[in-house]
C-alpha cells in the first residue's frame, strides 16, 4: 500500500465544509427534476429507481476520478485499490445507515400526504 494520505485527509473533512449539504441538496434537486414528468428535457425523465442507478454510477465514476487525482504513479494507485474500495464502501454504508434511520423514524411525517401513485419527493 502506498503512503498517500492526501486523498483521505481531504475527503474525511467533507462534512465540516460549510457548503457540503447545499451541494448535496442541489444534486438531489437535479435528480428530482429527472423524475418530474413535466420537465423540459423529457428524454431524461425516468422512474426514480433508474435515476438512483444513474446517480450512483455518476458518483462512483466521479469518486474514483477524484481518488486517482491524488496519485502521481499508476502503480501506487493500483496498489491502493482495496484501500480505496474499502473507504468508499464504508463511507457510503454510513451515509445509507444515517438516512435509513432518519426515514424509518420519520416515515409517517415525510409521506403523510403522499398519494401511492404519486412519485414521492426527497425531503
Nearest alpha carbon to residue 27 among 54, 61, 65, 64: 54
| Residues belonging to the chain | 123
More confident residue, 55 or 113: 55
Global pTM reads 0.77
pLDDT at 37: 76
pLDDT in tens, 24-83: 999 999 998 888 877 666 788 888 899 999 999 999 999 999 999 999 999 999 999 999
* C-alpha to C-alpha distance for 24 and 26, rounded to whole angstroms: 5
* C-alpha to C-alpha distance for 52 and 9, rounded to whole angstroms: 28
* C-alpha to C-alpha distance for 93 and 99, rounded to whole angstroms: 10
Percent of the chain past pLDDT 70, that is, above it, reads 77
pLDDT at 56: 96
The third-level CATH classification (topology) of the domain covering 6-110 is: Helix Hairpins (1.10.287)
Q: What band does 122 get if pLDDT is binned at 50, 70 and 90?
A: low
More confident residue, 53 or 115: 53
Q: What band does 117 get if pLDDT is binned at 50, 70 and 90?
A: low
* C-alpha to C-alpha distance for 32 and 4, rounded to whole angstroms: 37
* C-alpha to C-alpha distance for 54 and 40, rounded to whole angstroms: 19
Average pLDDT, the chain: 86
CB of 84 closer than 8 Å to CB of 64: yes
* C-alpha to C-alpha distance for 66 and 32, rounded to whole angstroms: 25
Domain coordinates in residue numbering, the chain: 6-110
Question: Could you tell me the three cell numbers for 120?
Answer: 414521492
Per-residue exposure over 101-115, b if at least 16 CB sit within 10 Å of its own CB, e if not: eeeeeeeeeeeeeee
Average pLDDT of 102-120?
78
Amino acid at each position: 500500500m502506498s503512503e498517500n494520505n492526501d486523498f483521505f485527509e481531504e475527503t474525511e473533512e467533507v462534512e465540516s465544509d460549510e457548503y457540503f449539504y447545499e451541494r448535496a441538496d442541489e444534486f438531489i434537486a437535479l435528480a428530482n427534476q429527472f423524475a418530474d414528468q413535466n420537465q423540459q428535457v423529457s428524454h431524461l425523465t425516468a422512474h426514480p429507481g433508474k435515476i438512483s442507478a444513474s446517480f450512483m454510477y455518476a458518483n462512483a465514476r466521479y469518486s474514483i476520478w477524484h481518488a486517482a487525482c491524488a496519485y502521481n504513479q499508476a502503480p501506487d494507485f493500483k496498489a491502493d485499490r482495496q484501500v480505496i474500495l474499502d473507504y468508499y464502501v464504508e463511507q457510503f454504508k454510513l451515509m445509507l445507515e444515517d438516512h435509513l434511520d432518519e426515514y424509518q423514524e420519520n416515515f409517517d411525517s415525510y409521506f403523510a400526504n403522499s398519494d401511492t401513485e404519486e412519485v414521492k419527493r426527497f425531503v
